[in-house]
Amino acid sequence: MIVNAAGRKLPETIGGQKVEPFMGAFATPPRKKRLAPKLSYVKPGEDKLMSLDEAVMKYVKDGMTISFHHHLRDGDYLVNQVLEMVSTLGIKDVVLASTALFPVHEPVVRHLMDGTVRRVEGSMNGPVGRACSFGHMKEIATLRDHGGRGAAVEMGDLPIDVAFIAAPTADDYGNCNGVHGKSACGPLGYSYPDSLYAKKVIAVTDNLVEYPVTPMSIHQTHVDHVAEVETIGNPEQIVSGTTKVTKSPTNLQIAEYVVETMDALGIISEGASIQAGAGGISLSVTSQMGDLLEDRHIVGGFGLGGVTQYLVDMLHRGVIKKILDAQCFDLTAVQSLRDDPDHAEINIIYSSPYNKGSVYNKLDAAFLGATEVDLDFNVNVNTHSDGLLLHGIGGHQGPAACAKVTFITVPLYRKRIPVIRDRVTTISTPGEVIDVIATEYGIAVNPRRKDILKKVENTKIPVLTIEELKKEAYDLCGEPELPDTTDDIVAVIQWRDGTILDTVKKVVEK
Amino acid sequence: MIRRSRLYIPGNNPKMIQSGKALKPDVILLDLEDSVPIQDKLAARLLVREAIKFLQFKNEVMVRINHFPMGREDLTEIVCEQLDSILYPKTESSQDIEEVAGLLEDLEKARSLSKKIEIVPVIETARGCLRCEEIAFSPRVSAITFGAEDFVADIGGTRTRECLFHLKSTLAVAAAAAGIQALDTVYPFIDDEKGLREEAEESKAMGFCGKGAIHPLQLNVIHEVFSPSEEEVAWAQKVIDAMKEAEEKGRAAAALEGRMIDTPTLKKAHRIMETFKVMT
């Protein structure tokens, strides 16, 4: 067994692969070169248009890795369409490398059972993750954060045979964007590395328009074929998850403590830049911060997202200067990306740890959620306390690692189960990069951050130790039960540099 | 006791009661009266009793009981060391208070409590309004408040400033005379921050020192209005200093910024500083 830097015991090999243990947030430098896919060419007069059936028949074979993006989130139709074709053709054992799967992708569970899909490499939100937890996946799944996935594709750790890119608008030569068309979903940046490094790239659109499409999020120089389908998804469903400011008094209290702490730390200042996520508490922080900036006639820097109407509102009120958009969480954000030159699309390589400057390095603050937090400040965003793998890592690790101050916003307990506990079920982000835990009962500052502790000690903000928060949670709810799991590993959690942070164990099905 | 805000929480809702512990009203007000349907009264009493014993609120714990005779059963269940005060609805006379105080006395003695639980009467009828003075001077009464909806219904009016003005004024004067707090009623529109602020500011100007909240979202505005501002604190300190200097010179009055100040001004200044000290 190996013990990694987060204190987790790992076997020497997992799924036949030698384990590279997590050594520390920035302890593992790049050790590979970029993947170099074969060059190809298209002669003048050659047609790139091809039906989706034809593309699947021609390019997808047994055992291949096929990829998709999740910009349409719970409104995506393409994963299910392609897998249905793959299954009908009798193709077996594909690796599904969708950047994230949602409840709409429940049919994937059937394809896990019938042998069409042997494993998933990507975030699993909902039923597919549940199936993985119960051991219904032939091989061990791999979860990475967004930037880590980008790096894995670049390095060849996640080699993609065929990338299917759902494109709300495309021309017949493969230039694509996500801001026009009936299925407009915003940026297409999650697919960008796939477009660069996959062996074959198929753009799939329900809005084929005259050449050339502008703006170009995905470029013709990387696309092999364009397939036209009736519909790629339902953009109304990109509003999945919580995308409204919380009305819960306790969650509002948490948001208030975050804003007060940011203020005490001097973050609410000229040029300050933030990572704003979805989720009621994060949105409330965004909204309250916007009001404070406006009241004080201060203009922040950029907002990075996960973009919602609240961040767009900050831009349009003039309290931040720019939005850098990796993902739209609602249609207001999509419209703003289309119309406002200060709202710019970025691709996911901006989030990679291995490039010449991650966008996260420029963040002053990030406020992120969690399902659990432990006494070492380790954060779980993947599993619930019953052990079920129900969420992806999303964009959690990168901002946490790089922002000057990282807040985790959590209630002390949910459904009478403590969120703050002795030990998290799964480490998704290590405690060494987490600075402040904000709960409705007050904040706990990571003892590593003596600078923060000093600045909040004489404020009105209730500052407790993480042990005190845990005690309060246990006093109210009792000690939480451990999940009923076996020793079988069903998924690995990679840190953004590709090392192994933790494993997810098989849950006993009752 | 500082009572800028008192947050009403239904006594039959365990989730809200538990959440109340993380919130910051000056007074946690657990309700056994109007927000609890008749079939839930018994369960609510038991829940409130266990909650105040177990949760160890840091705020003042007040319970709104039902009017007697049902209120007797409420008190019998809930009186304990952790209970600070009770809100007594539809108070119409000092006899009402004496009855409540008598039962409290018995229960406190029987349970060997180390404290005296305070009573905050609620004036909700024309009859109660006419007897504000005797109610304010009753034993254990440390504050007095009113219920606007019941009052306007009782007198056949509608909830307007004019309709409530006499009651509020009478109540504030009675409270001042008795040396207790006058507490404003709740503002029923959760999303109307402007209306809440206006009503609270008017009440503060009339002599009230706190207001009820039906939702935690109302707390910040209420606290802002009923907390002394930096300017008020600075002014109060100057008054105290000036009067101290005057006293040392054997004078009963002093001049501050071109204006005469004396004992009533000093009293006001002390009240501001006391609130400020408790807040900080």
Mutate which of A253, A287, A477 to disrupt the B interface (most B C-beta within 10 Å)?
Answer: A253
Is A249 within 8 Å of B215 when comparing Cβ atoms?
yes
Q: Which residues of A touch B55 (CB under 8 A)?
A: 476
Nearest to A441 among B22, B216, B217 (CB): B22
pLDDT of residue B241: 93
Residue A496 is assigned to a structural domain of this protein? no
Nearest to B23 among A253, A412, A439 (CB): A253
* Gap from B57 CA to chain A (nearest CA, Å): 12
User: Do B212 and B119 reside in the same domain of the chain?
Assistant: yes
Smallest CA–CA distance from B19 into chain A, residue:
A250
Which of the listed residues A235, A261, A283 is the one where a domain comes to its end?
Answer: A235
pLDDT over 70 percentage in chain A: 99
User: Do A82 and A152 reside in the same domain of the chain?
Assistant: yes
Interacting residues of A458 by C-beta distance below 8 A, sequence separation 6+: none
User: Do A364 and A461 reside in the same domain of the chain?
Assistant: yes
Is B23 within 8 Å of A250 when comparing Cβ atoms?
yes
Residue A368 is assigned to a structural domain of this protein? yes
- Comparing A306 with A57, the larger pLDDT belongs to A57
Residue A313 is assigned to a structural domain of this protein? yes
pLDDT of residue B263: 87
User: Do A70 and A121 reside in the same domain of the chain?
Assistant: yes
Q: Which helix (H) or strand (E) holds A377?
A: none
Q: Is pLDDT at A369 greater than 60 in this prediction?
A: yes
Per-residue model confidence as pLDDT tens digits over B128-163 = 999 999 999 999 999 999 999 999 999 999 999 999
Which of A250-254, B40-44, B90-94 has the weakest average pLDDT? A250-254
Touching check for B18 and chain A: CB below 8 Å? yes
Q: Which residues of B touch A417 (CB under 8 A)?
A: none
Q: Please state the domain count of chain A.
A: 2
User: Do B92 and B108 reside in the same domain of the chain?
Assistant: yes
User: Do A218 and A350 reside in the same domain of the chain?
Assistant: no
Residue A133 is assigned to a structural domain of this protein? yes
pLDDT over 90 percentage in chain A: 91
Q: Which residues of A touch B24 (CB under 8 A)?
A: 253
Residue B117, domain CATH: 3.20.20.60
User: Do B151 and B34 reside in the same domain of the chain?
Assistant: yes
* Gap from A19 CA to chain B (nearest CA, Å): 44
User: Do B25 and B104 reside in the same domain of the chain?
Assistant: yes
Residue A40 is assigned to a structural domain of this protein? no
Q: Which residues of A touch B215 (CB under 8 A)?
A: 249
Which of the listed residues B210, B226, B242 is the one where a domain comes to its end?
Answer: B226
Mutate which of B19, B220, B222 to disrupt the A interface (most A C-beta within 10 Å)?
Answer: B19
For chain B, give percent helix, strand, coil, nearest 5.
Answer: 50, 15, 30
Which of the listed residues B202, B226, B250 is the one where a domain comes to its end?
Answer: B226
Touching check for B19 and chain A: CB below 8 Å? yes
Mutate which of A247, A248, A250, A415 to disrupt the B interface (most B C-beta within 10 Å)?
Answer: A250
User: Do B121 and B54 reside in the same domain of the chain?
Assistant: yes
Is A249 within 8 Å of B216 when comparing Cβ atoms?
yes
User: Do B186 and B268 reside in the same domain of the chain?
Assistant: no
Per-residue model confidence as pLDDT tens digits over A184-223 = 999 999 999 999 999 999 999 999 999 999 999 999 999 9
Mean pLDDT of B251-260: 86
Q: Which residues of A touch B19 (CB under 8 A)?
A: 249-250, 440
Residue A245 binned pLDDT confidence (cut-offs 50, 70, 90): confident
With b for 16 or more beta-carbon neighbours within 10 A and e for fewer, the A247-280 pattern comes to ebbbbbbbbbbbbbbbbbbebbbeebbbbbbbbb
What are A's interface residues with B at a Cβ cutoff of 8 A?
247, 249-250, 252-253, 412, 439-441, 476
User: Do A197 and A104 reside in the same domain of the chain?
Assistant: yes
Based on DSSP, count helices (H) and strands (E) in chain A, helices before strands: 13, 32
pLDDT of residue A160: 98
Which of A233-237, A254-258, A397-401, B175-179 has the weakest average pLDDT? A233-237
Interacting residues of A348 by C-beta distance below 8 A, sequence separation 6+: A99, A146, A147, A149, A150, A189, A190, A192, A193, A326
Interacting residues of A433 by C-beta distance below 8 A, sequence separation 6+: A25, A397, A400, A401, A406
Three-class secondary structure of residue A472 per DSSP: helix
Which of the listed residues A212, A235, A258 is the one where a domain comes to its end?
Answer: A235
Touching check for B22 and chain A: CB below 8 Å? yes
Residue A30 is assigned to a structural domain of this protein? no
Residue A149 is assigned to a structural domain of this protein? yes
* Gap from B19 CA to chain A (nearest CA, Å): 7
Q: What CA dihedral angle connects A285, A291, A292 and A295, to 10 degrees?
A: 180
Nearest to B19 among A247, A249, A439 (CB): A249
Residue A173 is assigned to a structural domain of this protein? yes
Nearest to B23 among A249, A412, A476 (CB): A249
Q: Which residues of A touch B23 (CB under 8 A)?
A: 249-250, 253, 440
Mean pLDDT of A360-383: 96
Per-residue model confidence as pLDDT tens digits over A407-438 = 999 999 998 899 999 999 999 999 999 999 99
* Gap from A309 CA to chain B (nearest CA, Å): 20
* Gap from A317 CA to chain B (nearest CA, Å): 21
User: Do B219 and B241 reside in the same domain of the chain?
Assistant: no
Q: Which residues of B touch A249 (CB under 8 A)?
A: 19, 23, 215-217
Q: Which residues of B touch A252 (CB under 8 A)?
A: 216-217
With CA atoms as reference, report the closest residue to B199 among B190, B182, B217, B186: B186
Is A250 within 8 Å of B217 when comparing Cβ atoms?
no
Q: Which residues of B touch A253 (CB under 8 A)?
A: 22-24, 216
* Gap from A329 CA to chain B (nearest CA, Å): 26
Mean pLDDT of A127-143: 97
Smallest CA–CA distance from A413 into chain B, residue:
B19
Q: Please state the domain count of chain B.
A: 2
DSSP β-ladder status, B210-213 and B181-186: parallel
ipTM value of the model?
0.79
Smallest CA–CA distance from B191 into chain A, residue:
A247
User: Do B133 and B271 reside in the same domain of the chain?
Assistant: no
Q: Which residues on neighbouring strands pair with residue B9, listed in sequence order?
A: B30
* Gap from B279 CA to chain A (nearest CA, Å): 10
Task: Count CB neighbours of A9 within 10 A.
Answer: 11
Touching check for B25 and chain A: CB below 8 Å? no
* Segments forming the whole domain that contains residue B98: 5-226
Phi, psi (rounded to 5 degrees) for A247? -110, 0
* Gap from B251 CA to chain A (nearest CA, Å): 40
Per-residue model confidence as pLDDT tens digits over A5-34 = 999 999 999 988 899 999 999 999 999 999
Q: Which residues of B touch A295 (CB under 8 A)?
A: none
Q: In whole numbers, what is the pLDDT of chain A averaged over residues?
A: 95
Alpha-carbon Rg for chain A, nearest whole angstrom, is 22
* Gap from A440 CA to chain B (nearest CA, Å): 6
With CA atoms as reference, report the closest residue to A376 among A199, A256, A502: A502
pLDDT of residue A355: 92
Smallest CA–CA distance from A477 into chain B, residue:
B18
Q: Which residues of A touch B217 (CB under 8 A)?
A: 247, 249, 252
Q: Which helix (H) or strand (E) holds A90?
A: none
* Segments forming the whole domain that contains residue A312: 249-484
The B residues from 214 to 233 touching A (CB cutoff 8 Å) are: 215-217
CB pairs under 8 A between A and B: 24
CA distance A83 to B165: 72
Q: In whole numbers, what is the pLDDT of chain B averaged over residues?
A: 94
Smallest CA–CA distance from B14 into chain A, residue:
A416
Per-residue model confidence as pLDDT tens digits over B185-215 = 999 999 999 999 999 999 999 999 999 999 9
Residue A214, domain CATH: 3.40.1080.10
* Gap from A460 CA to chain B (nearest CA, Å): 8
CA distance A493 to A19: 12
User: Do A156 and A72 reside in the same domain of the chain?
Assistant: yes
User: Do B148 and B271 reside in the same domain of the chain?
Assistant: no
Nearest to B18 among A247, A252, A476 (CB): A476
User: Do B164 and B215 reside in the same domain of the chain?
Assistant: yes
Mean pLDDT of A113-140: 96
Q: Is pLDDT at A239 greater than 90 in this prediction?
A: no
User: Do B239 and B193 reside in the same domain of the chain?
Assistant: no
Task: Count CB neighbours of B177 within 10 A.
Answer: 12
Is B216 within 8 Å of A252 when comparing Cβ atoms?
yes
Which of the listed residues A201, A235, A269 is the one where a domain comes to its end?
Answer: A235
Mean pLDDT of B246-256: 87
Q: Is pLDDT at A240 greater than 60 in this prediction?
A: no
User: Do A191 and A86 reside in the same domain of the chain?
Assistant: yes
User: Do A217 and A297 reside in the same domain of the chain?
Assistant: no
Touching check for B126 and chain A: CB below 8 Å? no
pLDDT of residue B278: 76
* Gap from A280 CA to chain B (nearest CA, Å): 15
User: Do B167 and B107 reside in the same domain of the chain?
Assistant: yes
Interacting residues of B206 by C-beta distance below 8 A, sequence separation 6+: B168, B169, B172, B182
Touching check for B95 and chain A: CB below 8 Å? no
* Gap from A412 CA to chain B (nearest CA, Å): 10
With CA atoms as reference, report the closest residue to A165 among A114, A117, A128, A217: A217
Q: Is pLDDT at A334 greater than 80 in this prediction?
A: yes
